[in-house]
Amino acid sequence: MCGIVGAVAQRNVVPILLQGLQRLEYRGYDSAGLVVVHDKQLQRARSTGRVADLTLKSADISGHLGIAHTRWATHGVPSERNAHPHMSNASIAVVHNGIIENYEELRTRLTAQGYVFTSDTDTEVIAHLVHSHYKNGATLLAATQASLAELVGAYAIGVVAADNPAQLICSRKGSPLLLGVGKHENFIASDMSALLAVTKNVVYLEEGDVAEIGLDAYKVFDARGKPVTRPVQISELTNDSVELGEYKHYMLKEIFEQPQALANTLEAVCNSQSLIPGIFGAEASAAFAKIDSILILACGTSHNSGLVARNWLEEIAGIPCNVEIASEYRYRTSVSNPNTLIVTISQSGETADTLAALNHAKAVGHAHTLAICNVPESAIIRQSSLRFLTRAGPEIGVASTKAFTTQLAGLFLLTLVLAKLRGKLSQQQEQQHLHDLRHLPSAVQAVLKLEPAIKKLAENFANKHHALFLGRGLHYPIALEGALKLKEISYIHAEAYPAGELKHGPLALVDKDMPVIAVAPNDTLLEKLKSNLQEVRARGGELFVFADANTKIQSSEGVHVMQMPEHAGFLSPILHTIPLQLLAYYVALQKGTDVDKPRNLAKSVTVE
Ligand code: M6R
């Protein structure tokens, strides 16, 4: 979603801003722009193309203070006039992520005061509001603080004034923003990847913080305006982790990073002889002792990992578990149980719906909250009492891959820890699970060897417009995830069903033009699944089956079987995810879509 970069330096900041925007491209955007302060004037360039177009457009611009933005349209179509930065009276410029909910009311008031609006965005009200205070003599900091007090909604903002050549004001509430601290230069950005070329020193702003940033110093004020100290941390992010290297797309790179990502995520556990609650935080033991049920809240792919986990938690740990789409839960009147553990799952840790669901859960009386997340210092991590960090490394491709499988690893650990605490896990079972987890990265590596065969298989989908995914039990959520991946990046309409549901409706869709992809592990539901596949074949549907060894499902006319390794027991969903990711990737290549930045989607969904 939208991205912000800002800089104040002794050198020209335009290259810094453009490089930062390039690094934020993965978040998804439809226009971009920047403003620099030069000779007491605001110089602005905006473009509806890629950041590369903005680079051309800003060739004649330079300055030592500037803010830049990639916009993902919410209010107003993607167009140059709606692209940020927005300005007021050639004096104030603002970039903004998030949504200002009371913008219409503010717009009416500001229009009555004589302000002229040149865009359809909610952001422009911020520029005029700041101007209205600044022109009356307030400092830029005070003018921004006074404006923020009038806003309802979520924001991360950067503000500069034409007559203030070395000062940048920024603030965050509900959208991510951090400070990068350099030598005689300082920066702001939506995430650290934008600043890797200029600094590794990072200050994470808290909710409601406002910062005043100069060349040699910065001050942070909390939501009530009190000066506060936020620690400077050294970012562990490296340039390599956010660069493509030998790969054509980030998605493929990230699929192939899964063995390492899983090894990193499981490191602490695999090096120890037993499972301890402490891996979820210091207070986990006490909290886990009090809980009698689990409610998982998440969106998209992260929701799918929750659906797998429900099966594990109920079967292995014997604990009741519900899984809800975060955006539904937050607006539903639900019956809360204070002994329920709320588990939020999020790659980015900034998803607005998941964050709002977490806050709703807390507001209705849930004290025990656990975040399973890939981004340390993200809002979801900071606002939860317990946490588990997946160590997948930065995920740049919009389609989530390694974040999903590492979430599953984290959720499996949660299952085992709770099972142990509840007396459902013998020592021998614990050792067996630890053994299987240690083996997991190499098992994933073995599945990745199917890549050439899956690439070939993908050719069958080049002319398809629809696809059905089938799975059962623990693997139904994997079918859902396979369908989500395919539709997201290849734009083929794909649906997933529990295979037993086929005859209750979707079978009507099956004919020779409807490819049916089946996840076929060698588990207790195999024979039932085989019957469901017969139902498809009998109607002329073409089957693509990912089958474990020993399932005795053979390729034949209209049946393409991709042989998986031995059945991996409870960890099988992780292995069965891999070929579906590769299938989606190679079908998207066939279709010629923008794999890493699919249309209309954003990586980090920071608006509702
Ligand atoms: O960052 P999150 O895990 O909270 O994001 C949730 C969804 O937006 C995300 O998983 C989305 O469904 C993926 N792009 C799917 O590949």
**C-alpha dihedral sign at 341, 344, 349, 355:** negative
Q: What proportions of the chain, in percent to the nearest 5, are helix, strand and coil?
A: 40, 20, 40
Q: How does the average pLDDT of the chain come out, rounded?
A: 93
pLDDT at 272 over 80: no
Which of the following is catalytic: 2, 299, 321, 373? Answer: 2
Q: How many CB atoms lie within 10 A of CB 429?
A: 14
For ligand 1, mutation pick of 254, 296, 301 (most atoms within 8 Å of CB):
301
Query: How many residues would you count in the chain?
Result: 608
Q: Does the residue 328 lie in any domain?
A: yes
The answer to whether the beta carbons of residues 327 and 608 sit under 8 Å apart is yes
Q: Going by CA atoms, what residue is nearest to atom 12 of ligand 1?
A: 300
Distance (angstroms) between ligand 1 centre and the Cα of 553 equals 33
Q: CB-based contacts of 39: which residues, under 8 Å, 6+ apart?
A: none
Q: Going by CA atoms, what residue is nearest to atom 9 of ligand 1?
A: 300
- The mean pLDDT value for 186-208 works out to 92
> How far is the first Cα of the chain from the last one, in angstroms, to the nearest whole number?
11
Residue 296's φ and ψ, nearest 5 degrees, are -100, 130
Q: Does the residue 597 lie in any domain?
A: no
Q: How many CB atoms lie within 10 A of CB 491?
A: 16
Q: Could you say which of 394, 427, 448 is where a domain stops?
A: 448
Assess whether 407 and 545 both reside in one domain: no
Return the H-helix or E-strand segment holding 159.
strand 155-161
Q: Is 458 left (phi over 0), alpha (psi -120 to 50) or beta?
A: alpha
**3-class secondary-structure state, position 500:** helix
Write down the H helix ranges in 167-249.
none
305 lines ligand 1 (CB under 6 A): no
Does 2 qualify as catalytic in the annotation?
yes
Which pLDDT score, from 0 to 100, does residue 597 have? 87
Q: Could you say which of 212, 242, 272 is where a domain stops?
A: 242
Q: What is the CATH number of the domain that holds 66?
A: 3.60.20.10
Assess whether 238 and 267 both reside in one domain: no
Assess whether 91 and 197 both reside in one domain: yes
Assess whether 522 and 421 both reside in one domain: no
Distance (angstroms) between ligand 1 centre and the Cα of 347 equals 7
Q: What is the pLDDT of residues 97-154, one digit of tens each?
A: 988 889 999 999 999 999 999 999 999 999 999 999 999 999 999 999 999 999 998 8
Pairing of strands 542-547, 31-38: unpaired
522 lines ligand 1 (CB under 6 A): no
Q: What is the CATH number of the domain that holds 396?
A: 3.40.50.10490
pLDDT at 236 over 90: no
Distance (angstroms) between ligand 1 centre and the Cα of 560 equals 30
356 lines ligand 1 (CB under 6 A): no
Q: What is the pLDDT of residues 366-381, one digit of tens each?
A: 999 999 999 877 889 9
Domain encompassing residue 428: 250-448
**3-class secondary-structure state, position 205:** coil
327 lines ligand 1 (CB under 6 A): no
Assess whether 357 and 467 both reside in one domain: no
Tokens of 439: 């083996």
Q: Going by CA atoms, what residue is nearest to atom 4 of ligand 1?
A: 346
Assess whether 458 and 570 both reside in one domain: yes
Assess whether 37 and 148 both reside in one domain: yes
Number of domains observed in the structure of the chain = 3
CA angle 325, 326, 330 (to 5 degrees): 120
Please give the model's pTM, rounded to 2 decimal places.
0.81
Distance (angstroms) between ligand 1 centre and the Cα of 357 equals 15
304 lines ligand 1 (CB under 6 A): no
Assess whether 465 and 559 both reside in one domain: yes
Least confident range from 133-147, 443-457, 504-518: namely 504-518
Q: Does the residue 98 lie in any domain?
A: yes
Does 603 qualify as catalytic in the annotation?
yes
Q: Does the residue 175 lie in any domain?
A: yes
